[in-house]
Amino acid sequence: MTHPLKADRRARTRPLTRAPQRLLLLLPLLLACADASREHTARTGSDVAASARAPQDIVDHHVHLLGPDIMRDWRSLGVTFSRPDSVYTSATAWLATQGLGVNRVVFVPMSHLYGSSELIEALDLDTDAQQTRVRRENDHVASEAARLGDRAVALCSAPVLAPWALDEYARCHAELRTAGLKLHLAASGVDLRDDTHLRQLERIAAWAEQFGLPMLLHLDTQRRGTDVADIRRFAEVVLAPHPALHVIVAHAGGSGGYGRWTRSVLGTLLTWLREVESSEGARRPITIDLSAVILEEESEGVPPSTTAERDALRADVRAAGVDRFVFGSDAPVFEPARSAQVLREVLGLTGDEAEAWWRGSAIAAWATGAVPPA
């Protein structure tokens, strides 16, 4: 029998005839995330709630909020949403759905989607309209995060190859007091084999280091032909010159799941880190977020995580050290408390280890722009 969630996904995506297919890969499965959260709750909620090990006071380093513009634009392309807009756009409404599970949050705007040539074409945006939408998304998320006081910070996102990207990051820092940067290389059309793209990324990294601003980095470009040599070169060209730059690599370097490519990317980054830290005699402030790395069911074409993939993640995290990793859920696509519980089980964390990991955070320091050691 077809799973009702999967059937609902297919039914909801049929109207998207005007949206280019690659755009759908860039858009998290917002239309079904409410159903996913409900399903997890129905399947495990009572057991988790009754357990003394239930995650509480989580610091979630990867939660998306949407602004009114992006909601309207996606609706114009045929996307439907399964819950009230406030769940996607309001920090307080989203947090109210989490109970005791989430204590502090890093809110991530999706302004980078306006770097997609497919979205620009589909919406017929000129440069001014593109830039205006990016600004409004960042403004909205920063404003929403501010409503939660010291429980939340906002990042600033921009299409990294846009000639005005650095200006937008600077505006966010000066006017909105955002706590860091989000770089989404796939949505921005980055090719790691292109020297001009690497130089632009290095300029952004240099600026972020100068102002003590962390970067949440979606490294996977989702381009055919990219291999681990390109990942290594990215590290050497963009990250190596900036020893004080704090980076969180999203999704363990991939785009969801822990398949062969993601594991290869993570292994390449960790090998480079070991070498550079041995040479420099100091630890780099580079951490890895495990959001959407373990999948309990198919998501956006990525199959559920196998036993072998779960075992591989546990071995790799333990080998590198749990303190090299931070918790992120990729909400609202995934439910934070459930994600935290699953990762605890997969990583084999003790109760004390899990609580320390769930609650480990740099965001209090991010709020002032001061970068703590990794």
pTM of the predicted model as reported, rounded to 2 decimal places: 0.86
Q: Whole-angstrom Cα distance, residue 164 to residue 116?
A: 15
DSSP 13-38: HTTGGGS-HHHHHHS--HHHHHHHHH
Tell me what pLDDT residue 69 has.
93
Q: Can you give the residue range of the structural domain that contains 330?
A: 59-359
Give which of 205, 143, 130 is closest to 172, Cα–Cα.
143
Judged by DSSP in three states, 259 sits in coil
Q: What is the pLDDT of residue 249?
A: 97
Among 188, 156, 152, which Cα is nearest to 170's? Answer: 156
194, part of any domain: yes
Residue 29 confidence (pLDDT): 38
Query: How high is the mean pLDDT in each 10-residue block of the chain (374 residues)?
Result: 25 31 45 39 38 72 95 92 89 87 92 94 96 98 95 96 98 96 97 98 98 96 96 98 96 96 98 98 95 90 93 98 94 91 95 86 49 41
Question: 79 phi and psi, to 5 degrees?
Answer: -75, 135
In a domain, 82, yes or no: yes
SS (HEC) of 119-176: HHHHHCCCHHHHHHHHHHHHHHHHHHHHCCHHHEEEEEECCCCCCCHHHHHHHHHHHH
Instruction: Provide the pLDDT for residue 242.
Output: 98
Short-list 268, 309, 262, CA closest to 289: 262
End-to-end CA gap in the chain: 47
Q: Which residue type, as a one-letter code, is found at position 293?
A: V
Question: Which phi-psi region, left, alpha or beta, contains residue 256 (left: φ > 0; alpha: ψ -120 to 50)?
Answer: left
User: In whole angstroms, what separates CA 228 from the centre of its chain?
Assistant: 21
C-alpha to C-alpha distance for 163 and 109, rounded to whole angstroms: 19
Q: Tokens 């899990």, residue?
A: 354
Domain assignment of residue 203, yes or no: yes
User: What is the reported pLDDT for 80?
Assistant: 86
Residue 316, helix vs strand vs coil: helix
CATH of the domain at 100: 3.20.20.140
Examine residue 121 and state whether it is found in any structural domain, yes or no: yes
Question: Which three-class secondary structure state does DSSP give residue 193?
Answer: coil
Q: Write the DSSP assignment of 199-212 as a string of letters.
A: HHHHHHHHHHHHTT
Residue 63, domain member (yes or no): yes
pLDDT at 53: 58
12 part of a folded domain: no
Phi, psi of 74 (to 5 degrees): -70, -35
**How many residues are given for the chain?**
374
Give a yes or no: residue 241 inside a domain. Answer: yes
CB-facing half-sphere around the CA of 3: CA atoms within 13 A:
10
Is 54 contained in some domain? no
Give the chain's radius of gyration (CA, Å): 19
Amino acid at 208: A
Number of domains in the chain: 1
Beta bridge partners of 60: 105
Cβ atoms of 32 and 12 closer than 8 Å:
yes
Q: Which of 309, 297, 302 is nearest to 44 (CA)?
A: 297
Q: For residue 181, which of 334, 49, 371 has the smallest C-alpha distance?
A: 371
Tell me if 55 sits within 8 A of 324, measured CB to CB: no
